[in-house]
Structure 1
């Protein structure tokens, strides 16, 4: 038995140098293959550079302008007249393609409308309800507790009617769409409480049509799409220019321009996404004042209690 074990050990010791040599050869061949791959990659990069190819562009091609909003900053508040105009723009223009399934008609009372006006507004919409006693769905006028309906029965129908791209729901779009601010801007946003990136983006997108694309981008624009340098997902989008000057009549005498329409509907969408924004900021200001006063009282009490204690 000891002889057999010694024979196995001897065979293993003899085979070890061969295994090490084989591993070294494989490592050397792998290094040469990697070097050849790196060389081929560099050659391909040089060829692409010579042919005029460049890296994929970063979207959006233009950053949205930072606008002034009434709801910005720690003392922000809603401009009720602007929100009413934004609702009018949404109803007459945007609601043909976009729904707001998370916003109820009764929430419009926050925009200065009374109960009767809200009921009349809701009744202008047709809501599918049911089933009835016969097990069938039926249509009825909207009531205050209903939500803004979608203009399409399902996302597939919406995509089929809009060049293959289903229009997004407007309920949370002002919070969901935003362009990255980058370093160090986002650090300053912590102190300025900037959170209007969504409305800034929506306004820029609505006013960013009718521009000529750069030569290096022209080949990337597909047929049936529309160039917009502010689009966050590419050089062009399936939605054509949605609004034009004098398309919506303002009874309060506000300018009937694309820029004003875009500002108003962007503010309205921000309200739809966060209707309690102004109340939250007011509450936060009161809390901060309380914390400052409370900290001062704690300091005075601490000095009073420990004043006679030797340190």
Structure 2
């Protein structure tokens, strides 16, 4: 008795699934979804390569130091990096003395407690501290940014599809909406005149909804002066800070790559030894 009931229950379930699939297909064909401005004009990230790409990728420490300089002089005014400690900078080539000086001279002090009164206070950062937020709290951050909350950048390249390429494309993607055309050559405001960017926002086709609260942070060449003499073009600064954020999101990437190749080598050797052992054990046995 149980088997027939189970059979009919299963058959009913399959019928409902097929019915839903057919009806959904009919509805999609007869009433296709309306085109949206985001679907038609949102661009995929640009193609850009980094030294850390691929299974053999390694970080370019000179580039990481330049990227940190861009973050320090441009991005840190609004964006936190609260998953990274100052002492982590030693892994990208800074000396312990340099890290100590960077922490001590950081623009924002870290929260603390006055040992004499027990009241909240602030103090100079030490290498053991995480990078402090430029704002006291979320309310202060929104108040300073037209109610937009600047995201923490520690894991940004892991939280966004295409990671570093997305950050690079966003930084270099600000353009004039009035003349913007998509990959098919269609002008945005001619196709969607109602999609004009609201006041207080900025048009960027690489951002999900095309309008972003952040103005172009890298708006002109030479915003920073690189210590190694590299020309600080918008493109170069964007690549460098993107590489730096790839590192903040995955600082152990090189170790992971090295361990992966070690494991592959071990498995290849173990497989060869197992095969030779198999042949030796069964050598005298006729099939």
TM range (shorter): 0.7 to 0.9
Superposition pairs for residues 1-311 of structure 1, below 5 Å? 54-58=35-39, 61-125=42-106, 126-178=109-161, 197-212=162-177, 213=180, 214-215=188-189, 216-220=191-195, 221-231=197-207, 233-243=208-218, 244-311=220-287
Cα distance in 2, alignment partners of residues 97 and 58 from structure 1 = 29
Give the superposition deviation at 1:217. 4.3
Cα distance in 2, alignment partners of residues 310 and 229 from structure 1 = 70
Q: Render the CA deviation track for 1:225-273: whole Å, top value 9, x for unaligned.
A: 1111111x20110101111211101121212111000000000001001
Cα distance in 1, alignment partners of residues 250 and 200 from structure 2 = 34
Asked whether the equivalents of residues 59 and 234 of structure 1 are also in contact (C-alpha less than 8 Å), the reply is: no
Give the superposition deviation at 1:218. 4.8
Q: What is the TM-score of this pair, normalised by structure 2? A: 0.81
Could you say which structure has the larger radius of gyration? Answer: 1
Secondary structure in structure 2 of the residue aligned to 1:281: helix
Specify whether residues 148 and 287 from structure 1 end up closer, same or farther in structure 2 by C-alpha distance, changes over 3 A only: same
Give the superposition deviation at 1:104. 0.2
Structure 2 segments unaligned to the other structure (5+ residues): 1-25, 181-187
Asked whether the equivalents of residues 99 and 151 of structure 1 are also in contact (C-alpha less than 8 Å), the reply is: yes
Residue in 2 that maps onto 1:189: none
Q: What do you get for the CA RMSD once the two structures are aligned?
A: 2.2
The runs of at least 4 consecutive aligned structure 1 residues that moved more than 3 Å come to: 53-57
Secondary structure in structure 2 of the residue aligned to 1:70: coil
Specify whether residues 284 and 54 from structure 1 end up closer, same or farther in structure 2 by C-alpha distance, changes over 3 A only: closer
Asked whether the equivalents of residues 37 and 192 of structure 2 are also in contact (C-alpha less than 8 Å), the reply is: no
Q: Render the CA deviation track for 1:59-110: whole Å, top value 9, x for unaligned.
A: 8711112211100111110100000000000000000000101100010000
Cα distance in 2, alignment partners of residues 294 and 60 from structure 1 = 52
Specify whether residues 59 and 101 from structure 1 end up closer, same or farther in structure 2 by C-alpha distance, changes over 3 A only: farther
Cα distance in 2, alignment partners of residues 150 and 80 from structure 1 = 25
Q: What is the TM-score of this pair, normalised by structure 1? A: 0.75
